[in-house]
Amino acid sequence: MRYNPRAMKSVMVTGGAGFIGSNYVRFALERHPDWRIVVLDKFTYAGNPDNLKDIAERFKDRFTVVRGDIADREVVFETMRMHRVDIIINFAADTHVDRSLTEPGQFILTDVYGTYVLLEAAREFKVERYHQISTDEVYGDIPEPHRSREDDRLRGSSPYSASKAGGDLMCLAYHRSFGVPVTITRGTNNIGPYQYPEKVVPLFITNAIDNLPLPLYGDGKQMRDYQYVLDHCEGIDVVIERGVPGEVYNIGSGVETRNIDMARAILDLLGKPYTLIQPITDRPGHDRRYAVDISKVRALGWQPRHTFAQAIEKTVRWYVDNEWWWRKIKSGEFMEYYKRHYSGREVNLQLEL
């Protein structure tokens, strides 16, 4: 195929050096030979050049990285101009619930104000599509047997989920007031390669590999829909291609797993004893259950490809095979956070194993 720059689409992926963003960039560069991708990322503790290392080499003709903050209007507008961006996909966010409990202001700055700056750019440069990556956490704690539907009320329980809800509402307002062609996906908990080990699944896997305790909050009976990250990436792509502007789509496996069962599955796969599970004091405001109805995105022709068993198996295997990636991270800043966050929280609780 002859290279014709005018036939190419220019796509700005913000937060592309993080967990889901980097998986999406790798997936999208393979899936769309007519896309040029510019990643705009602030490289916070969660943004990692190692997540993009193979991509930078394999796709150097149509892949660029810009270091910058989505809340910085000048950087955002300059990147839009320089790269003549047609589509914005916003993954950039502060993402960890526990950190949002101690530093909520940073979450508001990126997840609400940063989203506003990107929407201003989308409006000014008349993009073909602005796609917002959101989360099922915006629906809050969901009593059984309900599954959240896209038009349910937003009731974020943590500063993280409240900030993400603020971002979603701003996107919908820019659609309604200014006609910006916005779509939103609300994904459930992702698992897979390159996830920063503050999140529960990579934390438990890497601790278990080193025979360290798995710090389980409360009684471990909280339910999460753990989906494989590439299923989520495919769903995002389908919504960008076939979704209707102004609409929101849930993406998840549709199956919930208790945290205690997720921990046991990891230990089983690694051949480690359940006695590594260490109950600790619960997270303040901890949502007991998230569950989403995925019929709307299914109607676009997408479906999850991995069961929980397949997703957790692939994920465990990746961390076993890629110690080079996570051993570097689990030092320095991470260890300080770990000590600060987990010290002295052990409780004596008989878990129903």
Give residues in contact with ligand NAD (CB under 6 A). Answer: 14-15, 17-21, 41-44, 46-47, 69-71, 91-95, 110, 114, 133, 135, 164, 187, 189-190, 196
Task: CB nearer to ligand TYD: give 246 or 285.
Answer: 285
Give the catalytic positions in this structure. 136-137, 160
The option from ligand NAD, ligand TYD, none interacting with 17 (CB < 5 to 8 A, set by class) reads: ligand NAD
Distance CA 213, CA 210 (A): 9
CA torsion sign, 120 to 123 to 126 to 132?
positive
202 binds ligand TYD (CB under 6 A): no
Interacting positions 280-339 with ligand TYD (CB under 6 A)? 283
The option from ligand TYD, ligand NAD, none interacting with 41 (CB < 5 to 8 A, set by class) reads: ligand NAD
Residue with token string 């193979």:
54
18 binds ligand TYD (CB under 6 A): no
- Say how many Å lie between the first and final Cα of the chain, rounded: 57
Query: Tokens for 76?
Result: 């955002």
Residue from the set 129, 186, 224, 306 that interacts with ligand TYD by CB under 6 A: 224
Cis peptide before 145 (omega within 30 of 0): yes
Query: Tokens for 323?
Result: 């110690």
Nearest distance in Å: CB 229, ligand NAD: 8
Query: Tokens for 5?
Result: 């720059």
Nearest to 174 by CA among 137, 138, 135, 127: 127
Minimal CB distance residue for ligand NAD: 18
The option from ligand TYD, ligand NAD, none interacting with 202 (CB < 5 to 8 A, set by class) reads: none
Read out DSSP for 198-237? TSHHHHHHHHHHTT--EEEETTS--EE--EEHHHHHHHHH
Neighbours of 20 (CB within 10 A): 23
Distance CA 121, CA 178 (A): 12
The answer to whether the beta carbons of residues 148 and 291 sit under 8 Å apart is yes
- Alpha-carbon radius of gyration of the chain: 20
Nearest distance in Å: CB 257, ligand TYD: 10
Nearest distance in Å: CB 76, ligand NAD: 9
97 binds ligand TYD (CB under 6 A): yes
17 binds ligand TYD (CB under 6 A): no
Residue from the set 62, 199, 232, 296 that interacts with ligand TYD by CB under 6 A: 199
Question: What are residue 37's DSSP bridge partners?
Answer: 11, 63
Residue from the set 154, 216, 233, 294 that interacts with ligand TYD by CB under 6 A: 216
The option from ligand NAD, ligand TYD, none interacting with 21 (CB < 5 to 8 A, set by class) reads: ligand NAD
Q: Which residues bind ligand TYD (CB under 6 A)?
A: 97, 137, 189, 199-200, 203, 215-217, 222, 224, 259, 283
